[in-house]
């Protein structure tokens, strides 16, 4: 009875803070296949239950990180037993299911692919713009993506609960699938060959955005059909990624409305 009561309070804490702690609580959450963003395990932890957590997490595509004990302590000082998990506030979807449905409904796909965008507030702001502009889905990698937490939800103004978020193990494979489905990949890049308003955005389109620090990763950049950019007259060399995404999406919608 004491174990059940302890687990209940752990889950209550999770629902309020998108965080669960403790070996048994994390393990039970995995067994119930609830959407987990990532799991942190204290370095050099190794027993049967820890191994089961790692096995189930990898099977479900959940990121597991081995971290110093002090890092976990900074997140929570509850009885975490060296294991905590961040539970996603959204149910992730599969882009392979989304694309056929869009075509079946007679719509022209508009997808946004976020490559290594890890800033939570930028991510939330981008999703907000996506929802406003009628984007069908946002695709993010399993590793190297912003955590979907309270800050992301707040910045998105609730959009994260309204638009499909698709998490994939391989952005490359997801991009190739979209191309095979007749969707052009437009990479927003500083080294662009076309201004954003010169590209034909009336066709099925996936807009690819990279991080402000590193841009779009080389394998994804090589796959893209065209590299587009936003012409600027100011002295600052670049835009915030969420602002740039909003501008590119507006151009796509403008063309389609015409």
Of 227 and 18, the one with more pLDDT: 227
Which tokens hold the place of 64? 């597991």
Quote the percentage of the chain above a pLDDT of 90: 67
For the segment 102-115, what is each residue's pLDDT rounded down to a tens digit? 999 999 999 999 99
Nearest to 26 by CA among 5, 54, 4, 45: 54
Give the distance from CA 24 to its chain's centroid: 27
**Residue 16, pLDDT above cutoff 70:** no
DSSP 88: P
* Matching residue, tokens 């060296």: 82
Report, as an integer, the average pLDDT of 171-176. 97
Nearest to 228 by CA among 249, 204, 258, 212: 249
Q: At what angle do helices 241-257 and 120-132 cross, to 10 degrees?
A: 10
Structural domains of the chain sorted by starting position, each given as residue range(s) with its CATH number in brackets: 2-87 (3.30.1330.30), 95-257 (3.40.1280.10)
- Rounded CA-CA distance 230/197 in Å is 8
DSSP 48-86: HHHHHHHHHHHHTT-EEEEE-HHHHHHH--SS-TTEEEE
Give the distance from CA 78 to its chain's centroid: 28
Nearest to 256 by CA among 209, 204, 182, 186: 204
Question: In the predicted model, what is the mean pLDDT of the chain?
Answer: 89
**Residue 150, pLDDT above cutoff 90:** no
For the segment 183-198, what is each residue's pLDDT rounded down to a tens digit? 999 999 888 999 999 9
Report, as an integer, the average pLDDT of 23-38. 87
Q: pLDDT confidence of 24, banded at 50, 70, 90?
A: very high
> Phi and psi dihedrals of 63, rounded to 5?
-70, 130
């Amino acid at each position: 009875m004491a174990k059940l009561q302890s687990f209940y309070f752990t889950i209550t804490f999770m629902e309020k803070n998108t965080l669960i702690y403790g070996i048994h609580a994390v393990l039970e959450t995995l067994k119930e296949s609830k959407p987990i963003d990532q799991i942190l395990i204290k370095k050099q932890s190794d027993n049967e239950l820890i191994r089961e957590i790692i096995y189930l997490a990898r099977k479900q595509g959940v990121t597991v990180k081995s971290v110093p004990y002090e890092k976990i302590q900074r997140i929570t000082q509850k009885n975490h037993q060296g294991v905590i998990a961040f539970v996603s506030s959204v149910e992730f979807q599969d882009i392979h299911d989304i694309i056929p449905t869009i075509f079946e409904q007679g719509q022209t796909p508009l997808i946004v692919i976020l490559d290594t965008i890890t800033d939570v507030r930028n991510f939330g702001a981008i999703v907000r713009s996506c929802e406003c502009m009628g984007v069908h889905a946002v695709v993010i990698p399993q590793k190297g993506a912003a955590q979907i937490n309270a800050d992301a939800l707040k910045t998105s103004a609730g959009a994260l609960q309204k638009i499909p978020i698709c998490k994939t193990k391989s952005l490359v494979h997801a991009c190739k699938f979209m191309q095979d489905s007749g969707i052009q990949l437009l990479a927003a890049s500083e080294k662009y060959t076309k201004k954003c308003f010169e590209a034909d955005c009336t066709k099925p389109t996936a807009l690819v955005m990279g991080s402000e620090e590193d841009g779009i990763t080389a394998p994804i950049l090589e796959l893209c059909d065209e590299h587009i950019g936003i012409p600027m007259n100011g002295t600052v060399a670049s835009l915030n990624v969420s602002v740039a995404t909003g501008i590119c999406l507006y151009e796509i919608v403008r063309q389609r409305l015409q």
